[in-house]
Amino acid sequence: MTRPRDSQRSKVYAAEEALRTDITEDDALWIADKITHSRWWAKRVNATLAKSPVMFVDFNTCGARTASQVRGGTRTIYLPFKARSSVTQLSVYHALAHLIVTDDNIAWHGPEFCRLELEMVRRFYSSSVESNLRTEFRKRGVKTRTMSEEAKDAARERWYVQKEKTLQSDLERLLKDLGE
């Protein structure tokens, strides 16, 4: 199964950039340790991953193409520490969220990912920053909710009903125009 299209990526990065707070590597490690040593984290990752250390690697020198990955039970987060201005507080939360959202049926920056990032920010950073990030997401059209199958079916049914009404009125208008 291939991962769904990642249509929200640039919107998510733009929303995070709007709330930019630069941090040092020590700050990033402190944030990661605080989160990854919590019960909250342990409930969301498998047992092996919950106990493995988080390792930060310089994105610029390792040639990494992804922000975070799991290899051999070690969680690795790639952040550009050489260009310190690029490391933000939200980039750490973002990278940690990628370590949790591993289901191949979920887009990398899909609603599930965004909802998880918001939850982490609220729980481990502040509710006001979470609220600001949610507002930035909304401004950019970032989805943070997924629809249940029942909701999808209901939306599809509403669409078909509306389409049928539109076709009916178009047909009536066409017949009227032909009759004149």
- Residue 67's pLDDT band, with cuts at 50, 70 and 90, is low
pLDDT above 50: residue 64: no
Report DSSP state, residue 78.
E
pLDDT higher for 153 or 91?
Answer: 91
Q: What's the average model confidence in pLDDT over 79-84?
A: 52
Give yes or no for residue 107 having a pLDDT over 50: yes
Is the pLDDT at 166 greater than 60? The verdict is yes
pLDDT at residue 149 above 60?
Answer: yes
pLDDT band at 75 (very low <50, low <70, confident <90, very high): low
As a whole-number percent, the residues of the chain with pLDDT over 70 amount to 73
What distance in Å separates the CA atoms of residue 144 and residue 121, rounded to the nearest whole number?
Answer: 14
2: which 2 tokens?
């291939």
Query: 155-161 contacts: CB < 8 A, separation 24 or more?
Result: none
> Mean pLDDT across the stretch 151-179?
82
**Rounded Cα–Cα distance for residues 24 and 28 (Å):** 6
Residue pair 92/26 in contact (Cβ under 8 Å)? The answer is: no
